[in-house]
């Protein structure tokens, strides 16, 4: 969320005039950024809110969207949209991207000028780390990332209780809570993006440890394995798999990823799910327990409109076959870093914004000029605009 | 070399670019959103404690600002 400081200033000035403010925590726009993965229960979404409050230092109260994403759908499925609701319950202002300065102008018109005008520099945002660092013993970056096929889209996958979990009491809230958390969460992507009789493509399976749980893979035990029971008419290049174990690494938190080829036959019911079972050994970071975990998922060959889009880091390539694991993504000019690469180099806290402190070289030197919306950070759009300008100059 | 290119390019981003940048302020206008000008629907959110928060009921009788976001 890029506009938090500006919004907080408007909040401080207008709460005294009787205006209520709420952030709505929605499904993740860019899962895997900073390691975060989509929550599957309301409790997990509430944990994300706690992490967001720590990371952003917000005072505006938060609401959680329902796990069916009611609010996101009703309000138009935007990542950072902004609305003003009248006392009569009518949506009188709807903005697809939050703009604190425009919001302030709106409120001047609606309720009058505020008695104070707080500046971002006046704020004392108590910002801290969203998620505690993993202990040193838990390695990262030891298993090369799989290069996902370019243009892949996320598919709907639902966790379901495995046979032994069915006996456990279920949550009273509107969740599909298993009896223990999904320490590792499955993300499924596929290309092509439409499924019909006779189509073939690639399926990506990623098992990502959820950073809200202090848990790591136990590499001293058996590696993660999965099996998939297929509906009639669907075939896979392999219906089971075993993850690699990194050498000399007893504990790590890297995702376990797989690419599978699939083929859809002439007679297939696309409403029939693929049933995936995954087994792995997990340990908590405080060495209090290690246990075998079984999770069961239904995977549907349907687009998940709430799954978000993975940005750089979840590696993608336009030439998805024959590269194997661990190779750097190809494409683009070798002399000019991509926006994602620039962002990765400078965005140290992984919030998608390059702050003045994070900016380097000319980005820092000309920061104020490049920060066109004056929100105190450079986003992808601002970096892209700069890069396009450079490319134009090079062509001249 | 790349650093030099960055530097030279950034230097060339003079004030002549500013009008184009400032037009990005229109980002917020975007394409129409479905609820623009319409009554708030009966939707249920949850407050930070996990309690149900019926939006229409809870926002009655005062102006309310709602901003969507997430950690990523």
Of A98, A25, A83, A43, nearest in space to B56 by CA: A83
Chain B residues within an 8 Å CB radius of A99: 25, 27-28
Residue B12 is assigned to a structural domain of this protein? no
Residue B27 is assigned to a structural domain of this protein? no
Contact A181, A210 (CB under 8 A): yes
- Model confidence band, residue B67 (pLDDT cutoffs 50, 70, 90): very high
Contact A188, A255 (CB under 8 A): no
* pLDDT (0 to 100) of residue A348: 55
CB contact under 8 A, A97 and B30: yes
CA dist A148 → A203, A227, A257 (Å) = 9, 20, 10
- List the structure tokens of A229: 């029971």
Dihedral angle over CA of A101, A106, A107, A109, nearest 10: 130
pLDDT, tens digit (0-9, with 9 covering 90-100), for B20-62: 222 223 333 445 788 888 999 999 999 999 999 999 999 999 9
- List the structure tokens of A91: 């949506």
State the distance between the two ends of chain B, measured CA to CA, in whole angstroms: 33
Residue B6 is assigned to a structural domain of this protein? no
By CB atoms closer than 10 A (0-12, 13-18, 19+), residue A172 is exposed
- List the structure tokens of A339: 């926006």
Tokens 């700069």 sit on residue: A386
CA dist A388 → A167, A250, A271, A383, B42 (Å) = 58, 45, 44, 9, 44
pLDDT, tens digit (0-9, with 9 covering 90-100), for A341-388: 676 567 655 556 777 777 877 787 788 888 877 777 787 777 877 777
Contact status of A42 with chain B (Cβ, < 8 Å): yes
Contact A219, A249 (CB under 8 A): yes
Q: Which of A69, A85, A314, A390 to mutate to test the interface with B (most CBs of B within 10 A)?
A: A85
CB contact under 8 A, A385 and B20: yes
> Which residues of chain A are modeled with pLDDT < 70?
161-179, 312-338, 340-341, 343-345, 347-352, 393-396
Geometric angle at alpha carbon A228, from A226 and A233, rounded to 5° = 160
- List the structure tokens of A21: 């403010």
Domains in chain A with CATH codes: 4-122 (3.40.30), 148-317 (no CATH), 339-395 (1.10.238.10)
Residue B29 is assigned to a structural domain of this protein? no
Dihedral angle over CA of A346, A348, A350, A353, nearest 10: -50
* Residues 192-251 of chain A whose Cβ lies under 8 A from any Cβ of chain B: none
Q: What number of C-beta contacts closer than 8 Å exist between A and B?
A: 255
CB contact under 8 A, A30 and B72: yes
Residue B7 is assigned to a structural domain of this protein? no
Domain that holds residue B72: 37-72
Write the DSSP symbol of residue A80: B
Residue B30 is assigned to a structural domain of this protein? no
Residue B64 is assigned to a structural domain of this protein? yes
Domain count, chain B: 1
CB contact under 8 A, A91 and B62: no
Q: Is the ipTM of this complex over 0.95?
A: no
Largest CA distance in chain B: 61
Of A381, A333, A372, nearest in space to B13 by CA: A372
| Residues B28, A387: Cα–Cα separation, whole Å | 22
CB contact under 8 A, B63 and A352: no
| Residues A285, A128: Cα–Cα separation, whole Å | 20
H or E, element range at A292: strand A290-303
CB contact under 8 A, B10 and A18: no
């Amino acid at each position: 969320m890029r506009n938090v400081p500006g919004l907080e200033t408007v909040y401080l000035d207008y709460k005294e005039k009787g205006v209520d403010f709420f952030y709505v925590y929605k499904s993740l726009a860019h899962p895997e950024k900073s390691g975060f993965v989509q929550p599957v229960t309301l409790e997990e979404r509430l944990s994300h809110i706690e992490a967001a409050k720590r990371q952003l230092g917000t005072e505006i109260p938060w609401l959680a969207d329902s796990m069916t994403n009611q609010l996101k759908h009703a309000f138009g499925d935007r990542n950072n949209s902004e609305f003003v609701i009248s006392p009569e319950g009518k949506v009188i202002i709807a903005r697809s991207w939050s703009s604190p300065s425009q919001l302030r102008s709106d409120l001047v018109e609606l309720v009058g000028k505020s008695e104070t005008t707080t500046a971002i520099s006046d704020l004392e945002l108590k910002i801290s780390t969203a998620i505690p660092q993993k202990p040193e013993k838990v390695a990262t970056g030891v298993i090369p990332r799989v290069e996902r096929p370019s243009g892949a889209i996320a598919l709907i996958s639902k966790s379901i209780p495995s046979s032994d979990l069915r006996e456990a009491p279920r949550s009273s809230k509107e969740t599909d809570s298993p009896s223990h958390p999904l320490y590792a969460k499955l993300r499924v992507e596929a290309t092509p993006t439409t499924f019909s009789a006779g189509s073939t493509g690639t399926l990506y399976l990623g098992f990502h440890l959820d950073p809200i749980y202090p848990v790591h893979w136990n590499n001293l035990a058996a590696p993660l394995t999965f099996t998939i029971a297929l509906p009639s008419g669907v075939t896979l290049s392999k219906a089971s798999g075993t993850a690699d174990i990194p050498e000399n690494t007893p504990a790590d938190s890297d995702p376990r990823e797989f690419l599978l080829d699939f083929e859809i036959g002439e007679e297939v019911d696309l409403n029939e799910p693929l049933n995936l079972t995954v087994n792995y050994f997990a340990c908590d970071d405080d060495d209090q327990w290690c246990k075998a975990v079984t999770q069961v998922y239904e995977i549907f060959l349907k687009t998940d409109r709430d799954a978000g889009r993975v940005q750089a880091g979840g590696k993608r390539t336009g030439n998805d076959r024959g590269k194997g694991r661990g190779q750097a993504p190809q494409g683009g000019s070798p002399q000019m870093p991509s926006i994602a690469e620039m962002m990765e180099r400078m965005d140290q806290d992984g919030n998608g914004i390059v702050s003045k402190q994070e900016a380097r070289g000319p980005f820092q030197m000309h920061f104020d000029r490049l920060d066109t919306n004056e929100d105190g950070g450079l986003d992808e759009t601002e970096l892209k605009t700069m890069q396009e300008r450079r490319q134009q100059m090079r062509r001249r | 070399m790349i650093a030099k290119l960055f530097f030279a390019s950034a230097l060339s981003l003079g004030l002549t670019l500013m009008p184009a940048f400032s037009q990005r302020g229109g980002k917020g206008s975007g394409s129409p959103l479905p609820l623009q000008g319409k009554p708030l629907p009966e939707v249920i959110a949850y407050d930070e404690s996990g309690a149900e928060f019926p939006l229409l009921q809870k926002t009655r009788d005062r102006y309310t600002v709602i901003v969507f976001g997430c950690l990523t």
